[in-house]
Amino acid sequence: MKPDTDGSPIEDWREGGFGLYIHWPFCQSKCPYCDFNSHVSAKVDQDRWRAAYLKEIERVGAETSGRVLQTVFFGGGTPSLMAPELIDAILTMVRDAWPIANDVEITMEANPGSVEVGRFRGYRDAGVNRVSVGVQALNDADLKALGRLHSVEEAKAAVEIAQNTFDRVSFDLIYARQRQSLPEWRRELAEALALASGHLSLYQLTIEDGTAFGDRFRRGLLRGLPDEDLGADMYLATQEMTEAAGYSSYEVSNYAKIGQESRHNCIYWSAGDYVGIGPGAHGRITLGGIRKSSEAISNPIAWLAKVEAGEAAEQRQHLSQEEQGTEYLMMGLRRDLGIDLDRYERIAGGTIPQAALADLVDIGLIDARGRRLAATASGRLVLNSVIAKLMG
Ligand SMILES: C[S@@+](CC[C@H](N)C(=O)[O-])C[C@H]1O[C@@H](n2cnc3c(N)ncnc32)[C@H](O)[C@@H]1O
Ligand code: SF4
């Protein structure tokens, strides 16, 4: 592979693939745990948003024309609040902007409300072939505590209707919730595995600054959260039960049967290139052999105004080889496949400290197989400190 001017390998992104992320920043209400770029707005003019998305896709499409697009992901916020006609217009423009892979994966995050579910066929007809439903809990009291607007019954119905409509369906659950015991989580996970059809995202509740839960936590009012030991036991039980059901833990919080992995997320975790469009969206694009990060303005009104005015709605930054190496390590070790040391050295222009690596292997946190490194189940529990050690 030919190195570019500062030594980083040109076109390395091809090893990870090429995808498109579209961010829809609106929700019906704000969940108290959520720090995603999501806003509640009484009125959203979908025609204005359509024009802005189309303009951005055209602009970035011209920069990256000819690349085969492997995945599209509509995330949010709540993209299932987008009219099917808006999704259709975006996907039509996407097909004009890039050649599309025959097996393209087009995912949408969907909330289980009845209005959203009523739009499923429209999304499918527009080209969406994978849906990720935000179930979050299979317990009505906990759904209420999480600020969700749906019931367990509605969530299960949404998953079933999605399974009858789309080729591939996943759903999300949040565990390690207030007052949740290990046996309760095991029962809920068993129910989830019976309902699932090949993919699950299972997240431990994290308390984020700047959220309603974050504020309550700081004031000592968020009671009954599991301690670290119980959280770790819940994670290990999750690994054991998903594995027994034929799901592999292909990433820290993602579980899939063979072939059902989210290909879009795998592009992030394997240092591929992806375009990010919409308020707050992140991207990574290699242009002329130079890998850049992009970050769009997060405020929806400001983003829309900039795009409408034909001004830059995102900032781009050249990523140094060191930054790229760190990113590959941090993202790659989230996956069961881990990282390829030869690729790491090409990207980073340096090697991983051997003594630190040997220590981590000795204490069972890293599994070294030939030129591949992967975090073990115990290593994943303390992934941040494993990565810090490997970065020297
Ligand atoms: C972009 S969000 C939500 C998508 C969709 N609006 C919904 O709520 O279903 C993707 C997922 O992140 C998870 N999530 C968000 N905040 C979290 C937190 N603080 N702790 C754990 N999981 C979280 C939820 O499971 C959520 O479904
Ligand atoms: S969890 Fe989903 S529905 Fe709730 S505020 Fe965040 S993005 Fe919106």
Please name which ligand lies nearest the alpha carbon of 175.
1
For helices 182-195 and 228-244, what crossing angle results, to 10°?
30
Nearest protein Cα to ligand 2, atom 6 = 34
Q: What are phi and psi of 381, to 5 degrees?
A: -70, -25
Q: Which residues line ligand 1 (CB under 6 A)?
A: 33-34, 36, 75-76, 78, 109, 111, 134, 136, 172, 174, 203, 205-206, 208
> Rounded CA gap, 81 and 115, in Å?
8
Name the one residue in this structure whose structure tokens are 């209707």: 161
pLDDT for the residue numbered 4: 45
**Token output for 14:** 């091809």
- Taking a C-beta distance cutoff of 8 angstroms, is the pair 23, 164 a contact? no
> Rounded CA gap, 208 and 332, in Å?
24
> Rounded CA gap, 324 and 385, in Å?
19
Whole-number Å distance, alpha carbon 60 to ligand 1 midpoint, is 28
> Rounded CA gap, 13 and 273, in Å?
5
pLDDT for the residue numbered 18: 97
> Rounded CA gap, 167 and 173, in Å?
21
Whole-number Å distance, alpha carbon 155 to ligand 2 midpoint, is 15
Q: What are phi and psi of 104, to 5 degrees?
A: -55, 140
Neighbour-count burial of 333, counting CB atoms closer than 10 A to its CB (0-12 exposed, 13-18 middle, 19+ buried): buried
Q: Which atom of ligand 1 is nearest to the CA of 77?
A: 6
Whole-number Å distance, alpha carbon 372 to ligand 1 midpoint, is 31
Nearest protein Cα to ligand 2, atom 7 = 77
Name the one residue in this structure whose structure tokens are 């579980």: 255
pLDDT in tens, the chain (392 residues): 444 444 455 678 888 899 999 999 999 999 999 999 999 998 899 999 999 999 999 999 999 999 999 999 999 999 999 999 999 999 999 999 999 999 999 999 999 987 788 899 999 999 999 999 999 999 999 999 999 999 999 999 999 999 999 999 999 999 999 999 999 999 999 999 999 999 999 999 999 999 999 999 999 999 999 999 999 999 999 999 999 999 999 999 999 999 999 999 999 999 999 999 999 999 999 998 899 999 999 999 999 999 999 999 999 999 999 999 999 999 999 999 999 999 999 999 999 999 999 999 999 999 999 999 999 989 999 999 999 999 87
> Rounded CA gap, 17 and 1, in Å?
17
pLDDT for the residue numbered 3: 45
Q: Residue 98 CB: number of other CB atoms within 10 A?
A: 23
Report all structural domains of the chain as residue ranges with CATH numbers, in order of start.
Answer: 12-267 (3.20.20.70), 320-392 (1.10.10.920)
**Token output for 202:** 């299972």
Distance between the two ends of the chain, CA-based, in angstroms? 27
Whole-number Å distance, alpha carbon 202 to ligand 1 midpoint, is 10
Q: Residue 1 CB: number of other CB atoms within 10 A?
A: 12
- Taking a C-beta distance cutoff of 8 angstroms, is the pair 110, 168 a contact? no
Q: Which atom of ligand 1 is nearest to the CA of 172?
A: 25
Q: DSSP for 329-359, please give it.
A: HHHHTTBTT-EEHHHHHHHHSS---HHHHHH
Pocket test for ligand 1, best of 203, 215, 222, 253 (most atoms within 8 A of CB): 203
Q: What is the largest CA-CA distance in the chain?
A: 58
- Taking a C-beta distance cutoff of 8 angstroms, is the pair 86, 44 a contact? no
Q: DSSP for 272-304, please give it.
A: -EEEEESTT-EEEEEETTEEEEEEE-S-HHHHH
- Taking a C-beta distance cutoff of 8 angstroms, is the pair 71, 263 a contact? yes
Q: Which residues line ligand 2 (CB under 6 A)?
A: 27, 30-31, 34, 36, 38, 76-78, 111, 134
pLDDT for the residue numbered 143: 98
> Rounded CA gap, 253 and 250, in Å?
8
3-state secondary structure of 207: coil
Q: What are phi and psi of 17, to 5 degrees?
A: 105, -175
Q: Which atom of ligand 2 is nearest to the CA of 148?
A: 4
Name the one residue in this structure whose structure tokens are 């709605």: 313
Going by C-beta distance under 8 Å and a sequence separation of 6 or more, which residues neighbour residue 206?
33
pLDDT for the residue numbered 9: 59
Tell me which residue of 326, 329, 347 sits closest to 13, measured CA to CA.
347
Tell me which residue of 13, 8, 14, 21 sits closest to 275, measured CA to CA.
21
